[in-house]
Amino acid sequence: MLKTPLRKILAVIVLIVLAFAGWQAFHYSRTEWIPAGHVGVIYDANSGLQKNILPPKAVYVGWRQRLLTYPTQIQPAIYTQDPNEGEVRAADGIQVTTNDTANTTFDVLVYYRVKKEDVLKAYSSFGAIPITDVQTLHIRRAVKEVANNISVQYNVFELMGEKRQEANAKMLAELQRLLASKGISVEVAMFGQCYPSQDIQAKINARVNAYTELEIARLNGERAEIERQIAVVKAEAENKARTLSASQAQGTSLEMLRLQNYKAALQKWDGRLPSITSQPGQTIVIGSNVIPLEGGK
């Protein structure tokens, strides 16, 4: 049987172990992680925001304290009508008004981040709320405001087509100017898919059909011009071929006529030289080798 002092010592050791284990469990329960690509700050309900900016790691968050994290890596803020996409699982597109008074919904895509040196500025702008709430409420409101400021500079067809890149550049510049002062760095902003109303869709179809017909007419005109050029080249080639053929035939015919004349002359010759006659007063000298002498002399 243990003596009383020893039992007391063992009881104290057990209490210490249990206290340590309890403290460890409590400490673990109050530990939160700052994920990679983020930084964090501790907000204390008594003393306010702690100025120390924490890198990605495990952080103990005390009683009445809160860990706020901010993404230093680029984050997407997607506002779309597709209920299966975006930060809100519902139709969340941005409706804008163009200068032809058309109200049209667009998907809008924004990429942003909070730089480490802007964390305190972001906290000062939005307070002790999670960055997800900042994105859902404040960034969305800024995007909607800027998108409508830009959309009124274009008609709906320009915003859907040839002027979209220009509008995207303007929207990015305006969002950067508006949100940089609040600690949000916008890297990309663009209009995405369009969801036109029925009357706008009918106008789009009419324009597409008219453009298609115009393009077909242009292609037919080009084909007719090519066929005309082919016909001209073919006619010139045929004419040149006829000219060459006639020239060759004429040359051949003249040569044949000369040969035929030579043949007729040969057939008429009796083997004797032509008779030698003289005109009055004309003297003809005949060599001795021309007139054979009697007896071969």
Helix (H) or strand (E) holding 32, with range, is strand 31-33
- CB neighbourhood size of 81 (10 A): 19
Query: Given a cut of 80, is residue 248 above it in pLDDT?
Result: no
Q: Quick one: pLDDT band at residue 64, thresholds 50, 70, 90?
A: confident
pTM as predicted:
0.60
Q: How is the chain split into domains, by residue range?
A: 15-68, 75-196, 209-244
- Give the residue, 8 or 153, on which the prediction is more confident: 153
Q: Which CATH class name applies to 75-196?
A: alpha beta
Q: How high is the pLDDT of residue 297?
A: 44
The residue type found at 31 is: T
5, 272, 292 from 295: Cα distances, Å: 188, 21, 9
Higher pLDDT, 74 or 1: 74
Q: What are the distances in angstroms from CA 24 to CA 11, 42, 57, 197?
A: 20, 21, 18, 61
Any idea which of 114-128, 204-218, 226-240 has the lowest mean pLDDT? 204-218
Tens of pLDDT, residues 150-183: 999 999 889 988 899 999 999 999 999 999 999 9
| pLDDT tens-digit readout, 79-133 | 888 877 656 655 788 999 999 888 899 999 999 999 999 999 999 999 888 998 9
